Amino acid sequence: PADIRGGKQMTRKLTCNAGFTLIELMIASAIFSVVIAGVIGAFWEQMRSHNTQQQILGVHQNARAAMYYITQELRMAGFDPTGTAGAGLTATADDGDTADIDEFRNITRFSMDLNGNGNTADADEDITYTLVDNQIIRTDGAGNDQTLADNIEVLDFVYHGINPNLPNNMIRFNESNAVNNPGNIRSVNVTIIARAAVVPVISYKVEDNNEYLNIDGDSLLNKNIAPDNFRRIMLKKTVKLRNMGL
């Protein structure tokens, strides 16, 4: 703008010093970085917590659902209201093949006359539970297979019953007693060890170096020898065979 005073034209130079200095910009950038780092850190922790909880929940639900179905049906083994169906429990002798499962410990078969018609010919009256390729398989009398649970490392059955030689004594049945005297079995100790399917990248890490024992004190899985980062759960239950020996 021009200013005319005393016949002379004068020119004023307008200057504006408002703005940010380099130091102010650096301070603002530092504060912004700290805030962003905090937000990212909180988000990361939330993701780790969520993935860990989902992993634990999945393992628990998987194992508990399988244990529920097995124990509920196993309790009915030997149910024979007419006394003519021949219902009971059948222990399977191990075939000696060390490359596959132990048939005596990992398979159980039982029957019950649910409709009281004097036989166990209906599909849901003859049931077999077994472990195949880390899956618990339920097979009915018609040969239909149903997968109850995945990522199962151990399915273990231990039989207890009346001593064939001393009828007043209850003993743990070895393979010979269980196979040859199934009618003397009175209870089954069931153990399931389930494992997470994967180890999520974003999760709280855990090292499993535990040794897993069943109710009878048998070592079923010893991760102390080869620890890993999978989460596991072991469920143990004694099932009383209330219909056996009636």
Q: What is the DSSP letter of 151?
A: S
Whether 13 has a pLDDT exceeding 60, the answer reads no
CA atoms of 158 and 172, how far apart (whole Å): 8
What per-residue confidence (pLDDT) applies to 18?
A: 61
How far apart are the C-alpha atoms of 195 and 204, rounded to whole Å? 16
pLDDT band at 2 (very low <50, low <70, confident <90, very high): very low
**Token pair listed for 192:** 């399931």
Q: How does DSSP classify residue 88?
A: -
Which segment of 58-62, 136-140, 166-170, 213-217 scores lowest on mean pLDDT?
A: 166-170
- The answer for 19, left when phi > 0, alpha when psi is -120 to 50, beta otherwise, is left
SS3 of 55, please?
A: helix
SS (H, E, C) 20-46: CCHHHHHHHHHHHHHHHHHHHHHHHHH
Query: Where does the pLDDT of residue 246 fall: very low under 50, low under 70, confident under 90, or very high at 90 and above?
Result: low
167 has a pLDDT exceeding 90: no
Give the bridge partners for 89, in sequence order. 110
CB contact set of 36 (below 8 Å; sequence gap of 6+): none
Task: Tell me what pLDDT residue 40 has.
Answer: 79
79-91 pLDDT, tens digit per residue, is 999 999 999 999 9
Q: How far apart are CA 218 and CA 211, in angstroms?
A: 10
pLDDT digits (tens, 9 = 90+) for 223-241: 999 999 888 999 999 999 9
pTM (two decimals): 0.78
